[in-house]
């Protein structure tokens, strides 16, 4: 009898960490999650959402903590989802973003390499790369070979992690793959990101709990998919005989205005202009204007395709926030 596969997930408290843990538990994995800090407020959230996950303390900026986590979990697969992931924050906190989102990748790659010893491909490695690496896009749609031109400290940090992952694959023969994922959202999305900010505000406006929504650039475009679909692509990458890089996206792009149209329509508001203000504080020093991915390689090699469309995704998020706000109000 072969033993169950074992996965170590960094970023377990984040949106993707929770969906990936759920997926791997249903596939029979022993799942370990890296959690940072001495009293992380999301500890209980992880325990109640994915009770089968075993939590280990560690931090991407601390190499020896990562080595201990690898030692304790003895993983067959490592998913590096941990990062400072909010692009707007990265301009004001460029140094710490570099420490975690860039150098943290080097730390976890190095810990994995040392853990593997003379069998570098024994542990399969996934790096959470990002469409933000395309930044000032040099090609539309963007694919694996599109020139990278990051537009934020976060994007620059992700480019470092992406190339370092490729470098460890080529230098040491590690089974290290990089998923270039476009925006993916869900009811678990952090409230600082635009989709969740809008779904929460729309729910509160429709219940009379809020009357204004302050927004930044309404003309930016994003290729938005559902996080539950995207973690499936991560897993499929690590099931391939050879490691590689893949774009994961829907191939559809929408403006922030369209996001507002769909979200407000869900609660019966057709003209949202009276509720939304533009506020300079949410406008970024540099913008990524036209993200749209070409995921044909992921479709051909991984057999992956998205199952949730834009309207369905936004409706799912608004409905979830309506329920959450009603529960809060009923307390």
Nearer to ligand GDR, 112 or 195 (CB): 195
162 binds ligand GDR (CB under 6 A): no
245 binds ligand NDP (CB under 6 A): no
CA distance 269 to 314: 14
Number of residues that bind ligand NDP (CB under 6 A): 28
Q: Least Å distance between CB 275 and ligand NDP?
A: 25
- Return the residue of 56, 60, 69, 220 that touches ligand GDR, per CB under 6 A: 220
- CA-to-CA separations, 191 to 15, 165, 216, 281, in angstroms, rounded: 11, 30, 15, 16
Q: 175-194 mask for ligand GDR (x: CB under 6 A)?
A: -------xx--------xxx
- Return the residue of 130, 199, 206, 249 that touches ligand GDR, per CB under 6 A: 130
Nearer to ligand GDR, 6 or 158 (CB): 158
> For this structure, is 132 an active site residue?
yes
Nearest-CA neighbor of 20 among 251, 152, 179?
Answer: 179
Nearest-CA neighbor of 213 among 147, 268, 264?
Answer: 264
**Tokens matching residue 289:** 């204007």
Q: Least Å distance between CB 60 and ligand NDP?
A: 4
- Return the residue of 13, 90, 107, 131 that touches ligand GDR, per CB under 6 A: 131
User: What is the number of the residue whose Cβ is closest to ligand NDP?
Assistant: 14
Q: Least Å distance between CB 298 and ligand NDP?
A: 14
CA distance 53 to 47: 7
- Return the residue of 42, 143, 284, 297 that touches ligand NDP, per CB under 6 A: 42
Nearest-CA neighbor of 87 among 166, 214, 190, 219?
Answer: 190
Scanning 2-10, 215-223, 247-255, 298-306 for contacts with ligand GDR by CB under 6 A, the matching segment is 215-223
Which single residue is written with the structure tokens 């999305």? 189
Nearer to ligand NDP, 13 or 177 (CB): 13
The number of beta carbons lying within 10 Å of the beta carbon of residue 38 is 5
Those residues with Cβ within 8 angstroms of residue 132's Cβ, 6 or more apart along the chain or in another chain: 87, 150, 151, 152, 154, 155, 158, 288
| Active-site residue, from 73, 129, 131, 132 | 132
> For this structure, is 300 an active site residue?
no
> For this structure, is 79 an active site residue?
no
Reduced to 3 states (helix: H, G, I; strand: E, B; else coil), residue 329 is helix
**Tokens matching residue 13:** 């408290």
Helices and strands (H, E) in the chain, number of each type? 12, 13
Q: Give the DSSP H or E segment for 222.
A: strand 221-222
Nearer to ligand GDR, 86 or 171 (CB): 86
**Prior bond of 155 cis (ω within 30°):** no
314 binds ligand GDR (CB under 6 A): no
Residue 251 contacts which entry, ligand NDP, ligand GDR, none (Cβ below 5-8 A, type-dependent) = none
Measure the N-to-C terminal CA separation of the chain; round to a whole number of Å: 50
CA distance 116 to 158: 24
Q: Using CB under 6 A as the criterion, which residues of the chain lie in contact with ligand NDP when the complex forms?
A: 10-17, 34, 36-37, 40, 42, 59-61, 81-85, 100, 128, 130, 181, 183-184, 190
Give me the active site residues, please.
130, 132, 154
The site for ligand GDR (CB under 6 A) is made up of: 85, 87-88, 130-132, 182-183, 192-194, 197, 215-217, 220, 222, 256, 282, 284, 287
């Amino acid at each position: 009898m072969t033993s169950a596969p074992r996965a170590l997930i960094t970023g377990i408290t984040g949106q993707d960490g929770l969906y990936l843990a759920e997926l791997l538990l249903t596939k029979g994995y022993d799942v370990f999650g890296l959690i940072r800090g001495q009293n992380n407020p999301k500890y209980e959230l992880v325990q109640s959402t994915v009770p089968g996950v075993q939590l280990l303390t560690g931090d991407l900026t601390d190499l020896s903590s990562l080595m201990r986590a690898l030692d304790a979990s003895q993983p067959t697969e490592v998913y590096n989802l941990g990062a400072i992931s909010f692009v707007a924050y990265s301009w004001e906190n460029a140094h710490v973003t570099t420490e975690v989102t860039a150098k943290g990748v080097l730390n976890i790659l190095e810990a994995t390499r040392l853990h593997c010893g003379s069998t570098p491909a024994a542990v399969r490695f996934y790096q959470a790369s990002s469409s933000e690496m395309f930044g000032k896009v040099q090609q539309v749609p963007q694919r694996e070979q599109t020139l990278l031109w990051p537009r934020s400290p976060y994007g620059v940090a992700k480019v470092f992690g992406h190339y370092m992952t490729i470098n460890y694959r080529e230098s040491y023969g590690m089974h290290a793959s990089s998923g270039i994922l476009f925006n993916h959202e869900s009811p678990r999305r952090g409230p600082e990101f635009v989709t969740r900010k809008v779904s929460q505000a729309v729910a509160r406006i429709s219940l009379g709990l809020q009357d204004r929504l302050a927004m930044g650039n309404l003309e930016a475009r994003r290729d938005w998919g559902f996080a539950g679909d995207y973690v499936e692509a991560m897993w499929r990458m690590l099931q391939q005989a050879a490691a590689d890089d893949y774009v994961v996206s829907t191939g559809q792009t929408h403006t922030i205005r369209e996001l507002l149209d769909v979200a407000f329509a869900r609660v019966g508001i057709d003209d949202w202009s009276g509720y939304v203000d533009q506020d300079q504080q949410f406008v970024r020093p540099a913008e990524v204007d036209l993200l749209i991915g070409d995921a044909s390689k992921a479709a051909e090699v991984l057999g992956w395709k998205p199952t949730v469309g834009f309207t369905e995704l936004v409706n799912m998020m608004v409905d979830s926030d309506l329920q959450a706000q009603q529960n809060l109000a009923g307390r």
